[in-house]
Structure 1
Amino acid sequence: MARMRRRPGGRPGRRTAPGAPGGAPAPRAAPGRAGLILAQVLVVALFAVLGARLWYLQVPMGEHFARLAAADRTQELVVPATRGQILDQAGRPLVRNRTALVVSADWHALQAMPDQGADVLARVAEVVGEPVEEIRARTRLCGPEVSRPCWPGSPYQPVTLADDVDARAALQILERREDFPGISAQQLAVRDYPHGELAAQALGYLQPVTQEELEAREELRKQFSGVDQVGRDGLEATYDAELRGTAGVRTLAVNNRGEVTGVVDEQRPEPGMHLVSTIDQRVQKTVEDALRRGIDRARKAGHPASSAAGVVMDVRTGGLVAMASLPSYDPSVWQGGIDQETFDELLSEKAGEPLNSRVMQGQYPPASTFKVSSLAAGVRGGKPLRGTYSCPSSISVGNRSFENYEGSSHGSLSLHRAIVVSCNTVFYQMAYDEWRSDERKKKPDDVFARTAEDFGFGAPTGIDLPHEAAGRIPTREWKRELWEATKEESCERAESGYPGVAEDDPGRASYLKKVAEENCTDGYRWRAGDAVNFAIGQGDVLVTPLQLVRAYAAVANGGTLWEPRVGKALVSADGERVEEIEPQKAGDLEVDGEVVSYLQKALTAVPKQGTASGAFGGFPQDQVSVAGKTGSGSALDSDSTAWFASYAPADDPDLAVVVVVPKGGTGGETAAPIVREIYEGVYGFTRDEQDAGGKSVEGGDPDLPGGEPRRGELPQVRPDGTVDLAAGE
């Protein structure tokens, strides 16, 4: 092995690269050019990305971030719009607005307090002068198990503690905020009902927005101001969106301490539109006053009447000039929270369910007023329009006897005379003959039911108000469905009977047991008794006063069925924009024109020579001729339901009027006099009447409309928001 040679100094010698001259050392390797270039590219790319990002943030997104920055210094406040008024057809206010001082609480702020706001609510009660228990109760959220008063709206709204508060009380709350945390006092627009109970069910009422409504209705969420209310019934509900208007937005400047320093921007609210209704306030008052007097007369005559309904329809358009239901109520009871006693009374059957409109929700057997449909059905089924018919006191159908009212007999007569004297047996016989014919057919004609449906019975009319009842036209199919639903109960009663009823009335209990036995075995069958009862509007037939007035309006105008309307036009708050609500035709009577003319002549004779002649004795028929029909709907162990359905003038019909008084006696003694009084008010007639003491007094009411019913122009809304009554007022 060769040894390494050392150089002087003792260090080993350095090796030389092969071929290096003179043994010089090998040079170091230089850094790679590829790596240097890559580094330079990365640096340039980073600067490019950074530059692009800066440009993007400053140019395209500059305005966006400017708004975000401004948002840190501003606050948006939703400003509620003023709700539109509801006017009568002449422009008189039925519902308007007024300003009230309202004390409210932040529900969440109260819940966050250690005592859930008990102390502060006690102080509020002392200031506003109301019992502390009521103030506390109003902060509870309403629910199935929570009694009134309670808060029916969203917990995110200010909870109303007291309204119509004295200004000094409100000022104490505003000046001593440290003593009233979570409490506010402010002026708010509230609904005002200048005529109290007048047309209450038609107008409806307002209630705070619920959380469910906020979640379901996007238009409410977008404009939620915290004090919003929505229509809960009547016109307030149907035309809620138009009446409510569009909320505004006020952008406030605030400093870092949350103090408002100014207004940055403001989008003013757009007031709601005024709703001009078809109701005539004076005719409405006439109807309600006449109904009250009619109920009083019925009770003095020994009938247990406690409710009534009256409706006046324009036969040429379907517009409702008046719709009255008694008992009524004052819609202002909803403001500020309703107590449990009042709430229960509004729904109480004992109190007459004043919240319900008997005009469109009350369902009653129409009795002889239904004969306009039955006459048309009989002729449609083949009976001669101008034939002669027998009117005995009764007819036998199966093992039952069906009688005329009070067993009267009228011999041979025409269908015209059968309407005038209201002969039941003529219509019984026509229906019985039709039933026997149908029984022999595989597919029965059911002409009486089909004709009733053509008159608009058994289905909603389409009125622009919520919660309308459909009435009932019983058919073979309906009878079978009812039997299937009640068969089990009928069979149980067929076996056990009615022991509770038998203690007081054995005869009635025996009758009910036989009915149950019959219904148990073959209650699905459409029997002859069903058919003959149907023909005079009895049995299972039910109609609403609204359906009946529309049917009589169709007879009056020659055969047109209208969709009833209460809304006539929407007018902007400055009067610049008008949206008329056009009448809607629902269809035509499927009745021959000759039959309609025949009915018109027969109905015109009823107040002159027939069952309503006593009520209309002395009425100026030469000036305004009234056509109509009485009805007395009987019920088991109950007084009759009194009806009068009519229209006038008979020779040039303008208005149809229907009145019903449940448990009021007969139509001629109770309902017809009320209708006469309505026509006297509408057309401005007066008469001498006997008061309760028998003293002769001058009739007539100075507040009644008088003169011809007006179809004037729409009321004019001036630019300042005031209303000019329609022409002719």
Structure 2
Amino acid sequence: MNQRSRLSLLVVQILIVSLLVALLGRLFYLQIAAGPKYRDAALSIQSRDVVAPANRGLIVDAYGVPMALNKVGLAITIDRIEIDKQPDKGVEVMQRLAKLLKLNYNDVYTNTRLCGELPVGERAGCWTGSRYQPIPITKEADPDIALQIVERPDQFPGVDAQPISIRSYPGLVDVNAAHVLGYVGPLTEDDLTKDTGKQYYRSESIGKAGLEIQYDSYLRGIPGIRTLIVDRKEAITRESQNTKPIAGDHLVTSLDIRLQAAAEKALADAVKRGRANGYTSDSGAAVVMDIRTGRILALASYPTYDPNAFEKGLTVQQASDLFSEKKAVPALNRALQGLFAPASTFKSVSVVAAAAAGYDLNASYNCPSEVQVGTRAFQNFDSKNQGRMNMKKAIAVSCDTIWYQIAFDEWLRDGGLRPKNNPNDYFFKAAQSFQLTEKVGIDLPSESRSRLADRDYKKSWFEQNKDFYCNYKTRATKAQQTPFLIQLAAENCVDGDKVRAGDAVNFSIGQGDTVVTPLKLTQMYAAIGNGGTIWQALIAKAIVKTDGTVVKSFAPNKLGTLTTAPSTVKFLQGALREVVVSGTGAGVFAGFPVEISGKTGTGQVFGRNPNGTLKDDTSWFASFAPSKKPRFAVVMMVGQGGFGASTSGVGVKQIYEAIFGVKGNKVVPGAAIYPYGKPPTDLPKISPATKPKEAP
């Protein structure tokens, strides 16, 4: 054998040895290293979990009154194992059952199919659990009908009736609270595929919105699992485990069910009042906060929806209505998701800016009917010349032109359209000191971030929109081709990345591109009322076990402090009191026995409604009380509600009447929601039978 042949043989030997080593290594990995993993996978192929959902924990108010609880329903269920033995796979039985229960047969069929048994586009309402457990097709059956079914097993083989736990929102004292509480619903394929780190079982119901989803891991409990081992023909051979469900923990909130009811009623009344005054008045929000802790005492959004409807199952029309613009999008929580120009309520920020810029807050200034800014005349409210006045009165009567002059002067000092390297930007920095662009951190999902239209925003906005505005005539719709919009587009194409004079003066009165959530404005006015502390908004107080053991407490969280002099905050407190004494809020609160401080706002809105009409002004009233020792901040916003005082101001007054127990112009002893002037701090004893106290 020559040298070349030996070399070839050696290469072949090395190749064979390498392959053997690789095969042995793979065999070692599969049988030893990854053995447990694959054994579990093999077992899962022949095992089926039957899930017994745990009783969900209660959600209660600060006194232990249940706002979300469980009630017993009577479910009509179908046993797929039994019904599939029928010659027609149970079609006749299900048709007979659908007729008796007055249900649509197609819905019954879909509800009893495993999701994998249906085409992708037809899985809405499919069963996410196992075929080895009873599948409910209705949870609130009439007992008489249920009796007819169980007494006729020959006609309804595989059909049974059994008690079932239903999530219920009882609506005590007419409380809705849907946007706070949220709702629960069955697991979907999306829920199961999300990498949340949570262990879900297919037939469970979980929180889908509000507090229900925020604290789902506590409320949900631990379901009971019965694992069945089956053979290739799906016949049960044995049971491998059977654990009992463990009930979920309870959530104690800072809400007061009586105050929540009062806030919801006041908001609904305000919306109706706006309509009666001739405005579109289609939506709104109201927030009540403890300004010393940041705890939310009531939160309402209008329009709302029935959270119980999700347990029953929504029709296609109901689901569509929740997000319909014509219905004003009831699913939207306007208190923390809606963004609106704050209008004159923002002048509190402008006071901080003026003080930082060196303006004497105790001096007098002219309030003319208009101020010329470049080529445009900016009008005072109602175009009134109100003469010379001090700054406190300017806040009280809501003079605009004083702020136009100050903002325009500061814009010029900062360099105008060619800003200095380090402009003072007093107005922007004043807004930043209120943490305007930071979320309030409320323990509810999907909070919107308020927007500050400063220099960074303008640059970012321009980068996203310059192509549209610089090619406006070819990109805009025919309806957008108006002379005003064409001119605006041309200006935006040239210097849309800069803070223009008009931007500066609009900013000073809360108009323009700066928008806030009602919750953020509440946090801002709470900071003014408490002397400068910015608190995180918080609803949860504690997670409590069924035996009363505290699992977790939620303490107030200080987020920061206003970066302005205490004297400025004190001046601002006095000016906001003057609004209610002799300014735009005086008529609403005339003779009110508790001192209130606040600010009206009437925000102009650009655009049209679905019916083609121009949008009406946004109505605001932001406040805190009592004025001398503030404890509560109350803010109301009514979309397209018109004037701040006459629409939202009256609504805020109604809320304060409930808080302080005011009847007419007198405080009625014992009628106040908080008789000691502050919300409770102790945790309540929780009982599903707890009843609310009489609302004042």
User: TM-score normalised to the size of structure 2?
Assistant: 0.83
Q: CA deviation at 1:214?
A: 3.0
State the match for 1:666 in structure 2: 643
CA offset at residue 526 of structure 1? Answer: 1.4
Q: Which moved more, 1:325-334 or 1:191-200?
A: 191-200
Secondary structure at 1:485 match in 2? helix
| Structure 2: segments with no counterpart, 5+ residues | 1-43, 607-613
| 1:56 equivalent in structure 2 | none
Distance 1:253 1:209, change over 3 A: closer
Deviation at 1:626, TM superposition (A): 0.2
SS at 2:635 equivalent: strand
Distance of 2:302 and 2:371 partners within structure 1: 38
Q: Does 1:124 align with 2:97?
A: yes
Choose from 262, 272, 280 the match for 2:256: 280
User: 1:558 and 2:531 equivalent?
Assistant: yes
**Letter of the structure 2 residue corresponding to residue 635 of structure 1:** V
Deviates further, 188-197 or 208-217: 208-217
Question: Is the alpha carbon distance of 1:432 and 1:243 closer, same or farther for their aligned partners in structure 2, counting shifts above 3 Å?
Answer: same
* Match among 654, 657, 660 for residue 680 of structure 1: 657
- Relative to structure 1, is the Cα distance of residues 625 and 178 closer, same or farther in structure 2, using a 3 angstrom cutoff? same
Match of 1:205 in 2: 183
Q: Secondary structure at the match of 2:589?
A: coil
Match 2:603 to one of 633, 637, 641? 633
Matched, 1:150 2:128: no
Contact preservation (8 Å) 1:463, 1:563? yes
Larger displacement relative to structure 2 (631-640 or 659-668): 631-640
The equivalent residue for 1:587 is 560
**C-alpha offsets along residues 267-291 of structure 1, whole Å, 9 cap, x if unaligned?**
5433211111111111111111112
- Please state if 1:316 is matched with 2:286: no
In the other structure, the counterpart of 1:467 is 446
Higher relative contact order (CA 8 A, sep 6+): 2
For the 8 Å contact 1:449–1:475, the answer to whether it is kept is yes
Q: 1:517 to 1:116 in 2, by over 3 A?
A: farther
CA distance in structure 2 between the aligned counterparts of 1:302 and 1:605, rounded to whole angstroms: 29
Cα distance change of structure 1 residues 148 and 391 upon mapping to structure 2, 3 Å threshold: farther
Larger Rg: 1
**2:472 counterpart SS class:** helix
Name the count of aligned residue pairs.
Answer: 635
SS at 2:287's partner residue? strand
Instruction: Deviation per CA, 1:236-295: give whole Å up to 9, x if none.
Output: 0000010111234568999xx98999x999754332111111111111111111122222
Q: 1:164: which partner in 2? A: 140
Q: For 1:724 and 1:301, how far apart are their aligned partners in 2?
A: 38
| 8 A contact 1:715–1:725 mirrored in 2 | no
Work out whether 1:290 is the aligned partner of 2:258: no
Q: Match of 2:450, as an amino acid?
A: G
What is the CA-CA distance between 1:537 and the residue it aligns to?
Answer: 0.6
Cα distance in 2, alignment partners of residues 164 and 260 from structure 1 = 34
Structure 1: unaligned runs, 5 residues or longer: 1-70, 503-508, 689-697
Instruction: List aligned pairs for 1:433-444, cutoff 5 A.
Output: 433-439=409-415, 440-444=419-423
In structure 2, C-alpha distance between the alignment counterparts of 1:523 and 1:431, rounded to whole Å: 19
Q: Deviations over 1:612-644 (max 9, x none)?
A: 011111211xxx210000000012342110100
Distance 1:498 1:218, change over 3 A: closer
In structure 2, the partner of 1:712 is 680
| Map 1:113-512 → 2, pairs under 5 A | 118-136=91-109, 138=111, 150-151=125-126, 153=128, 160-171=136-147, 173-174=149-150, 185-195=161-171, 198-216=176-194, 221=199, 224=201, 226-249=202-225, 267-439=243-415, 440-494=419-473, 499-500=478-479, 509-512=482-485
Identity of aligned residues (%): 37
Counterpart position of 1:520: 493
Contact 2:182–2:307 (Cα < 8 Å) also in 1: yes
Q: Secondary structure at the match of 1:349?
A: coil
- Whether the 8 Å CA contact 1:494–1:520 is kept in 2: the answer is no
Deviations along 1:149-185, whole A, 9 cap, x unmatched?
7348567786542120123444555566675566554
C-alpha contact 1:562 1:584 (8 A) present in aligned 2: yes
Give the whole-Å Cα distance in 2 for the aligned partners of 1:152 and 1:632: 50
Cα distance between partner residues in 2 of 1:114 and 1:437: 88
What amino acid sits opposite 1:659 in the alignment? M
> Which shows bigger deviation, 362-371 or 706-715?
706-715
Amino acid in structure 1 at the alignment position of 2:316: Q
2:323 & 2:637 partners in 1: Cα distance?
A: 21
Output the amino acid matched with 2:441. G
| Aligned residues of 2:662 and 2:672 also touching (Cα < 8 A) | no
Q: Distance in 2 between matches of 1:422 and 1:218?
A: 49
* Residue 590 of structure 1: how far off its partner (Å): 1.5
User: Which secondary structure does the structure 1 equivalent of 2:558 belong to?
Assistant: strand
Instruction: Decide whether the 8 Å contact of 1:149 with 1:338 is kept in 2.
Output: no
- 1:19-76 deviation per Cα after TM superposition (whole angstroms, max 9, x unaligned): xxxxxxxxxxxxxxxxxxxxxxxxxxxxxxxxxxxxxxxxxxxxxxxxxxxx9xx998
Q: 1:541 aligns with which of 510, 514, 518?
A: 514
Q: Work out the CA distance in 2 between the residues paired with 1:123 and 1:703.
A: 57
C-alpha distance in 1 between matches for 2:408 and 2:80: 67
Q: What's the counterpart of residue 18 of structure 1? A: none
How many Å separate the matches in 1 of 2:363 and 2:457? 33
How far apart are residue 314 of structure 1 and its match? 0.6
Once the two structures are TM-superposed, the CA of residue 717 in structure 1 deviates from its matched residue by 3.0
Native 8 Å contact 2:175 2:260 kept in 1: no
Closer/same/farther in 2, CA of residues 539 and 155 from structure 1, 3 Å limit:
farther
Aligned amino acid, residue 473 of structure 1? L
CA contact (8 A) 1:282 1:704 kept: no
Letter paired with 2:395: I
- Give 1:652's aligned residue: 629
Aligned counterparts, 1:104-115, within 5 A: 104-105=77-78
2:588 is paired with a residue of what secondary structure? coil
- Post-superposition shift, 1:687? 1.8
Cα shift at 1:344: 0.4
Amino acid corresponding to residue 186 of structure 2 in structure 1: P
Q: Which moved more, 1:227-236 or 1:431-440?
A: 431-440
Task: Return the alpha-carbon distance in structure 1 between the equivalents of residues 88 and 489 of structure 2.
Answer: 61
Q: 1:220 to 1:635 in 2, by over 3 A?
A: closer
Flag the 1:344–1:265 CA change in 2: closer, same or farther, 3 A: closer
Which amino acid in 1 is paired with 2:75? V
- Post-superposition Cα deviations, 1:207-241, rounded to whole Å, max 9, x if no partner, equal 111234334468754x63x5311101000000001
**CA root-mean-square deviation:** 3.8
Deviates more, 1:675-684 or 1:146-155: 146-155
| Equivalent pair of 1:397/1:528 in contact (CA under 8 Å) | yes
> Greater shift after overlay, 418-427 or 639-648?
418-427
**Alpha-carbon deviation of 1:660?**
0.5
Residue 45 of structure 1 is matched in structure 2 by: none
Residues in 2 aligned to 1:345 and 1:323: alpha-carbon distance in whole angstroms = 22
Q: Is the 8 A contact 2:50 2:226 kept in 1?
A: yes
- Mapped to 2, the partners of 1:555 and 1:388 lie a distance apart of 23
Which whole-Å CA distance do the structure 2 matches of 1:182 and 1:447 have between them? 74
**2:72 is matched with which residue?**
99
**Partner-residue secondary structure (3-state), 2:206:** strand
- TM-score computed with the length of structure 1 as normaliser: 0.79
CA distance in structure 1 between the partners assigned to 2:229 and 2:689 by the alignment: 35
